[in-house]
């Protein structure tokens, strides 16, 4: 009987390389250069792109909700993010509802009802990025995501993943991620794997953390880009870029952030991207708003809807 051939030995893992974000603000005056950097790196970073006062106003409203539920330490001003560790951990994992958002369903629904939460993604300084990048009319997905990452014991950092399996539609949907307040590395900001978008869709495996799935990494995939975020900083990347959250080093703080998606309005969009990121209806979310201009704004566009494909979230083995 012939001796079986042993499987090939995988190459040794390279040391993890960590580089700082490169500010792309100067390239907004040069669309070709901006697109070239996006194609090369698979991300764009903009230092203090959003006005700090508007981001901090959003922070105050989100923290007021945390405070009403009794999870914030007393004696802070409206922007203080110190969390009562014992109070938040009196909640069971079931009460936490979704461990990817960091709070109970009731609290998350209160955030989703905030008019400012839905208005900030339409800020002209954000829209300028995507009009320059796409060169045509922009669709802001109305399905915005809030993260209120508390020190509850059920919380784990978001694993390496691509956004495409959860968004679908056009592969040129871009995510904007920005903290709602300062976010140093130690608070658990987002990091991206440089140039990982060039590989297209990658298979997934079940994992703990936001989304419930992860892209298994290959030994050569080590070039992570990260940084300390200041209030107003914006990180954005296409839906094939692998990204993950750093681990929070504190047990007494909350990390507030937002995920917003943008695409060219003439490319396909999957219909779930036009629904709220919670069981509330749009009418329930809009109740109490002071202005009507952003209600159902996407219905004014001749959108091309695409079908959802469950296959993108079926576990498969990745071959490195």
What was the pLDDT predicted at 162? 98
Q: Are strands 255-264 and 174-179 parallel, antiparallel or unpaired?
A: antiparallel
Q: Tell me: domain 23-282, CATH 2.60.120.620, correct?
A: yes
Element (H, E) at 112: helix 105-112
Task: Kindly list the domain boundaries of the chain, sorted by start residue.
Answer: 23-282
Characterise 117 by phi-psi region: left (phi > 0), alpha (psi -120 to 50), beta (else): alpha
Report the b/e string of 14-48 with b at 16+ CB within 10 A: eeeeeeebeebeebbeeeeebbebbeebbbbbbeb
Of 50, 163, 166, 47, residue with least CA distance to 116: 50
Per-residue pLDDT in tens (0 to 9) along the chain, 320 residues: 445 455 455 555 556 678 999 999 999 999 999 999 999 999 999 999 999 999 999 999 999 999 999 999 999 999 999 999 999 999 998 888 666 899 999 999 999 999 999 999 999 999 999 999 999 999 999 999 999 999 999 998 999 999 999 999 999 999 999 999 999 999 999 999 999 999 999 999 999 888 889 999 999 999 999 999 999 999 999 999 999 999 999 999 999 999 999 999 999 999 999 999 999 999 999 999 999 999 999 999 999 999 999 999 999 999 99
What was the pLDDT predicted at 99? 62
What was the pLDDT predicted at 97? 63
What was the pLDDT predicted at 9? 53
Which residues share a beta bridge with 206? Answer: 213
């Amino acid at each position: 009987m012939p001796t079986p051939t042993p499987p090939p030995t995988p190459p040794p893992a390279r040391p993890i390389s960590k580089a700082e974000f490169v500010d792309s603000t100067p390239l907004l005056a040069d669309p070709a250069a901006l697109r070239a950097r996006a194609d090369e790196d698979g991300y764009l970073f903009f230092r203090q792109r959003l006005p700090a006062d508007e981001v901090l106003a959003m922070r105050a409203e989100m923290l007021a909700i945390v405070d009403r539920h009794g999870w914030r330490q007393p004696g802070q001003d409206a922007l203080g993010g110190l969390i009562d560790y014992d109070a938040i951990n009196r909640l069971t994992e079931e009460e936490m509802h979704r461990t990817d958002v960091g709070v109970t369903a009731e609290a998350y629904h209160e955030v989703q009802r905030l008019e400012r939460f839905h208005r900030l993604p339409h800020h002209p300084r954000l829209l300028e990025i995507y009009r320059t990048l796409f060169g045509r009319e922009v669709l802001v997905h109305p399905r915005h995501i809030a993260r209120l990452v508390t020190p509850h014991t059920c919380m784990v950092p978001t694993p390496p993943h691509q956004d495409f399996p959860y968004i679908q539609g056009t592969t040129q949907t871009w995510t904007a991620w920005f903290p709602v307040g300062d976010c140093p590395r130690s608070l658990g900001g987002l990091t991206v794997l440089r140039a990982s978008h060039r590989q297209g869709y990658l298979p997934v495996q079940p994992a703990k953390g936001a989304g419930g799935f992860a892209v298994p990494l290959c030994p050569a995939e080590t070039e992570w880009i990260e940084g300390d975020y200041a209030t107003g900083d914006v990180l954005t990347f296409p839906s094939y870029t692998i990204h993950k959250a750093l681990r929070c080093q504190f047990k007494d703080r909350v990390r507030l952030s937002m995920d917003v998606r943008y695409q060219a309005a003439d490319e396909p969009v999957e219909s779930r991207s036009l629904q709220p990121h919670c069981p509330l209806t749009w009418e329930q979310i809009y109740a109490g708003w002071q202005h009507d201009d952003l209600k159902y704004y996407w219905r004014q566009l001749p959108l091309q809807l695409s079908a959802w494909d469950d296959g993108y979230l079926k576990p498969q083995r990745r071959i490195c």
